[in-house]
Every structure is written in C-alpha cells, then in structure tokens.
Amino acid sequence: DLRPVLDAGLPYVLIKRYIPGQLANCVVVDDVRAARQATEHLLAHGYRRVAFVCPLGTIVGRDRFAGYRRALEAHGLPYEAELVPPVADWFEERGYTALKALMALPRPPEAVFAAGDMLALGAYRAAAELGLRIPRDVAVVGYDDIPAAATLQPPLTTVRTSYYDFGARATELLLDLIAHRAAGPRQVVLDAPLVVRQSCGEHGSTNDTMEHGSTKDAKGVGRVSEPGSPSAG
C-alpha cells in the first residue's frame, strides 16, 4: 500500500513491480511481451506441447503466464492445464519437482518454459536424474539470465533482465523526482531480450543472439510510458 508514502509526499520508485489499477512510479519490464516471445521461440522450433513452470500467485508470474497463453493462442494451440503444474515459489527445488511431475504425464511435454532461471536449474537437475538430455528429449527456456545460465550444459536460452539496469534507471528516476524534474507517476519499461543459446535445439555459433532488442537494448535502454500496466502484450 503506497498510501502512507503518497500522503507524506515522499519521492519513491518501485522496482520490478507495479500495482494493478494504481498509478505509481516504477521501473519494470514488459513480462507479458517477453514471456510471449520466449514461448514463441519454442513454438518456432516445432514444439507443440510446451509446459509452463512459474508461481502464479505473483503479479510477475501472472504476467508471464499471460504471455505464454497469448503465444499459444496466436499459434492456434489449446491451453492444457496439465502442462502448468502448481508452483509455490521461484526456488530451484520447485523447478525440479515440476519437471519430474511433467515428465511422468502420459503425454509429457516436448519443451518447458521455466519462467525463472532458478526454476530452470531445477528442471535441468531433474532431467539429468531421469536420464533425459536437453534439448534432445526436452527443450528448456528460462527467464532472467542469471550468471549460471551461460555455464549450464547445454547453455540455457533465457530472457535477459539486469538488476544493474533496474537500479540505474530507478536511481535516475528517483533523483529526477527529488529535483522535481519529473512529474509522477512515471513508468520506465526496460527491454528484456531473448538470449538464444543451446537449450532449445540451436546449433552453430556459441555467441549470444538477441531475438528482440539489440545488445544496446540489453544494457538498459528503456522507454518511459504512460502510467498503468506495462503488459501491452
């Protein structure tokens, strides 16, 4: 609840979150758009049974789920609830448990979008225990591009977000608010490019490839939008 801060007239900036239906200064990424792109990357590889692993009890989780659903709809694919197992939080163990459950289905998924890299780490561990090879037996896409993502075997294809960029842009906006150079509420939407590696079946160069945005985009160039939800889709 921002009411005490607003009533006190204090400058503030929310980072990686917004409040639905409430105007607020924030620095976010368009999670709906980024998640849709990650899902469409898997669909472009020919996978049709794509699972989604993410806690849906958070705004971020629901936005990423919305992006997943939009990608399925755009490709004329039905939503299958069994491919979205319940996940309580973002920890590695949840990804591990989810992949074990998914691969035990009568018709297991061909690919998994783990909407957090820690979840993807758990999925990798479960796949190894089951004797499955990524991406031959199941493809995996993550979200966040944590340092470990590039060192996994195979390296993880994932959506890149940067805590440095969040902090830098939030600081800039906060200083503008303090100096009265910015009239709030303002929303800064950072780019979140897909970093293509080798967990979906890609072969060839081991260099990172940005599927949306450029290298410059990934270093924190964002856009300032009207207040409201960042999830334009």
- Three-state DSSP class for residue 177: helix
- Give residue-wise pLDDT tens across range 67-110: 999 999 999 999 999 999 999 999 999 999 999 999 999 999 99
- Does the residue 210 lie in any domain? yes
- Give residue-wise pLDDT tens across range 120-171: 999 999 999 999 999 999 999 999 999 999 999 999 999 999 999 999 999 9
Closest to 192 (Cα-Cα) out of 117, 135, 138, 125: 117
- Does the residue 69 lie in any domain? yes
- Does the residue 26 lie in any domain? no
- Does the residue 60 lie in any domain? yes
Q: Which CATH number does the domain housing residue 42 bear?
A: 3.40.50.2300
What are 174's two structure tokens? Answer: 């906060």
Total domains present in the chain = 1
- Does the residue 39 lie in any domain? yes
Domain extent, residue 75, equals: 31-162+192-214
- Give residue-wise pLDDT tens across range 33-60: 999 999 999 999 999 999 999 999 999 9
- Does the residue 9 lie in any domain? no
- Does the residue 43 lie in any domain? yes
Mean pLDDT of the region 218-229: 42
Q: The pTM is what?
A: 0.84
- The C-alpha angle with vertex 221 and arms to 151 and 44, in degrees rounded to 5, equals 55
- Does the residue 36 lie in any domain? yes
CA dist., res. 16 & res. 100, Å (int): 30
